[in-house]
Amino acid sequence: MSKMKKKKRHLGRKILFGFEILVLVLLVGVLFLYTQINKRMDKLNFVQTENDQEVQINETVAGSEVLSGYTNIALFGVDKRSEDEGLYGNSDTAIIASINNDTKEVRLVSLYRDTYMRVDEDEYGNGIYNKCNSAYLRGGPVQAINMMNTNMDLDIQNYVSVDFSAMATVVDCLGGLDIPMSYEEIEHMNNHCVETSEQTGMDYTPIEKPDPAPDDQSQIIGTYHLNGVQVTAYCRIRQTASGDQGRTERQRLVLNMLADKAKSANFSTLSDIVDQVFPLIQTNFSKSELIRLGTSILTYNMGENTGFPVDYVMGADRTEPVTGLDCIIPTTLETNVKYLHEFLFSDEDYQPSETVTVRSDFIVDRTGFGESYVADERKYLLDDNSSSSDSSESSGGETSEDSYGYGTEEESSYDIQDETY
């Protein structure tokens, strides 16, 4: 064999050996990352669903081809104001994150916490209607998921639940957020910061308000760099004219900004978030499910977002006389659910389940707020044979919701008093 052939063979072995080393290094690196992630996963509060608390979905939703193309997750921000409130507090925030499995687009829908819906049932199977955030208080995350699934024809199986400390910690780990704010938002944020700082044990510096105050205090006056306590307080503002709707818009803005920052964060920053935040999170995802979601996170893109319901009646003077609550009455639940499925799943011909239509008719019969309160731009959602007309125009057909309970809101506790009619 010539020296040239021996040299080529020797070079080939070197290249092959070098390639094997490279593959080995990559495998060791991947194994190390997996081990680190897997080890940190133990910090999460994994919760197994109890046998008596199974996730419920409406019969017609089971096996839906459309919904099978999406992963829907419930995100809860829990308002636990003291250590003795236990696992369940009020769900201060409830957001549906819907991931299109093909396009990887993520859409967010905030459920307005004061929305009047069926949240539970009594011992006789009669529906209990109340503000939707009371579902979490009554039975924790699974009860809240069931409220979403059965009132909105969804198939949500998993949730992630955090408290104020988790939000503030994530923001600080990512270096804060730059948020455009109005004069009134600065004022209310500073006020909320006092309690938020006490709850989280974290510091902040109040934002100095311009002097004199502008004539229109709702207009954006500048962009401010906020830390964790401030961003969390910003997300809690509901004292402006936009009320709960404005609050949920702020929350979705913050989630989008955090997602963008997290996608560009280095491994060290993400490790800090895992170490500090995971102990503050509760979820019923398994380790493998979270790792699978996490490995795809860089491919996700944030899409449009909205609130639920889009059409509603609010104001204590209008809602308290008919429900006993200062709440948000969906007008109608049926048309709002149609719009929700169009928005999330591009299903323009969706027909709600009988469960949804019965509950929608019941709310209309009880409150008198029906189809005439649907916005003009969504009148196309109305069916010719729809029974959800205003009570003054309704023929008074019976529904299976023969009796119900309504809540009397105690400002400090949201205790429920069920009354049967």
407 torsion bin: left (phi>0), alpha (psi -120 to 50), beta (else):
beta
What distance in Å separates the CA atoms of residue 310 and residue 184, rounded to the nearest whole number?
A: 25
Cα distance between residue 164 and residue 199, in whole Å: 8
Query: CA 46, 51, 55, 61: dihedral to nearest 10 degrees?
Result: 140
CA 95 from centre of chain: 1
Closest by Cα among 331, 358, 327, 334 to 112:
327
CB 335 within 8 A of CB 370: no
- pLDDT classification of 264: cutoffs 50, 70, 90: confident
Of 145, 117, 141, 140, residue with least CA distance to 130: 117
pLDDT-derived band at 395 (thresholds 50, 70, 90) equals very low
Place of tokens 């008074």: 396
Q: What is the pLDDT of residues 120-156, one digit of tens each?
A: 999 888 999 999 999 998 889 999 999 999 999 999 9
Pair of tokens at residue 29: 């690196």
User: pLDDT tens digits for 71-108?
Assistant: 999 998 876 554 444 455 667 789 999 999 999 999 99
> Mean pLDDT over residues 106-115, rounded?
93
Which residue from 182, 174, 190, 146 is spatially nearest to 57, judged by alpha carbons?
A: 146
Bridge partners (DSSP) of residue 75 are 95, 160
The pLDDT value given to residue 17: 52
Three-state SS at 417: coil
Q: How far apart are CA 175 and CA 182, in angstroms?
A: 22
Mean of the pLDDT values across residues 310-322? 95
Q: Is 302 strand, coil or helix? A: strand
- The pLDDT, as a whole number, for residue 67 is 93
Examine residue 141 and say whether the peptide bond preceding it is cis (omega within 30 degrees of 0).
Answer: no
The predicted pLDDT at position 416 comes to 37
Torsion angle of alpha carbons 178, 184, 190, 192, nearest 10°?
A: -100
pLDDT at 221: 94
DSSP bridge pairs for 72: 98
Apex CA 40: angle with CA 175 and CA 267, to 5°?
Answer: 40
The 10 Å Cβ neighbour count of residue 158 is 18
* Cβ–Cβ under 8 Å, residues 150 and 118: yes
Q: What is the mean pLDDT of residues 30-38?
A: 51
Residue 40 pLDDT > 70:
no
For 240-282, the DSSP string reads STTHHHHHHHHHHHHHHHHHHHHHT--HHHHHHHHHHHGGGEE
Cα separation, 324 vs 322, whole angstroms: 6
In angstroms, the Cα distances linking 207 to 64, 165, 191 are 49, 20, 11
Check residue 78 and give its pLDDT. 78
Residue 387 and residue 51: Cα distance in Å, rounded?
A: 37
SS3 78: strand
The residues spanned by each domain of the chain are 3-41
Cβ neighbour number for residue 23 with a 10 Å cutoff: 10
- CA 310 – CA 308 distance, rounded (Å): 5
Tokens of 120: 């539970």
CA distances from 396 to 287, 355, 368 (A): 51, 18, 11
Is residue 331 pLDDT above 80, yes or no?
Answer: yes
Express each pLDDT in 203-242 by its tens digit. 999 999 999 999 999 999 999 999 999 999 999 898 888 8
pLDDT at residue 173 tops 90: yes
| Host H or E run for residue 158 | strand 158-163
Query: Worst-scoring range by mean pLDDT, 1-10, 38-47, 92-101, 217-226?
Result: 1-10
Instruction: Provide the residue count of the chain.
Output: 421
Four-CA torsion 307, 106, 346, 382, nearest 10 degrees = -10
What gap in Å lies between CA 18 and CA 175, rounded to an integer?
41
